[in-house]
Structure 1
Amino acid sequence: MDDLRDLQLYEHVDPGVRFPSGPINVFLHEATMQAVRLRFDYLTNPPVYLDEAKGVLERPISYLKFNVIEPNAVIESSAMDGVPVRALPVLHGGDYICLGFAVGPSGEFIYLSDVKEIPPETMQYLKDLPRIKTLVVDCLKMRAGNFAHAAFEEVREWIDELKPEKVWLVGMGCGIGDHDEANRIIQDEMGYPMVELAYDGLYLEGFRL
């Protein structure tokens, strides 16, 4: 949460710090909001302004606007520049609900970054899409066994069911092994040529948003 300030343009003024682009919108459901309030009260409390009209804060902390949504909400916000976004509840260990997102027209871009299990309602929504162009999905390691994160043994079952055109795996740990070797095993030995491990600096384009 603190590191979000590195994604914001701000300038030092005397005194204080000004954020000319305004706050970053954060979308989350109520249970997560309660947890964030406990751990980051200095971010969830009203910011300390030296000059609210000019957006000048007392110090350079992350400047955030929290938007509490329902787990299945369709987000309609100017922050999205008119791009439709639907929240997708998934389970991130036990009964903890984490939100994935469907971005753009139906099935254009599905993002499930922290998931151990896809609940039946979310799976049905994904299966009902006319196609899934790009799926970004959690994959800690090759073999299952982690409480909160999926492994490729589990992810491949979702791929078989949803048949996405392209899959990028994220959230890998050291257990995934060598990057290129893991890609070779998944694509050549296991027969999933559409699947690839993501990497720092990856840039995706060609979406209809």
Structure 2
Amino acid sequence: MNSRILLVEDEPGLSLTVTDLLEAEGYQVDTAMDGPTGLAKAGTGDYDVVILDVMLPGMSGFDVCRELRQKGCDTAIIMLTAKTHVTDRVVGLKLGADDYLAKPFDPSELLARVESLLRRVPKKKRIPVAQFEFGNVSADFALGQVYKKGEPVTMAAKELQLLRYLIDRRGTVVSREELLQNVWEYQAEVSSRTIDVHVAWLRQKLEDNPQSPQYIHTVRGVGYRFTA
């Protein structure tokens, strides 16, 4: 199960509880603590479900939902609120929310609602990125060019392919087995050590501090995760 969920919730304790609950079921979870950040993340279209609190700093969940739908974002949205008035539920649903859950809620009910939405909404297929920027790095995969601080970075074809694969699956843990299958296509001479070496080369070329990477993270015993 590789569905990606964005949780927009400003209560740290509840955010941690829900994140742990979803990750224990195998979901990939990103979080945001305020409305504007939630809107920016959800607007990327990278998620299968957005769990959106109504009462948020900076921008209400209602406004986030409204703007997402106005921008054409069709990601499934579950709204959370401490308000139990029927009018609040109606407002959220009219703005384009797919489901509504009042606080406090039973964790099993939230899971059931997420699973129900995922059954109804086809899983998003992420289109490979052609261009991407993170930190002081910009990559144009169509042209096969990468720049850091405006200066060109020399990269081998396999390094570019690995970087693009990690970026395409940003926020998701990518196993070495998956990289062997999809980047190296199970070439007999390639081992997991080869992957580790290529990742080290990417960090050396792109990270400001390769020993403490900001973007390409090691997930011990599994593989790597790109975050930006």
Q: TM-score, normalised by structure 2?
A: 0.30
More helix by share: 2
Normalised TM-score (structure 1): 0.32
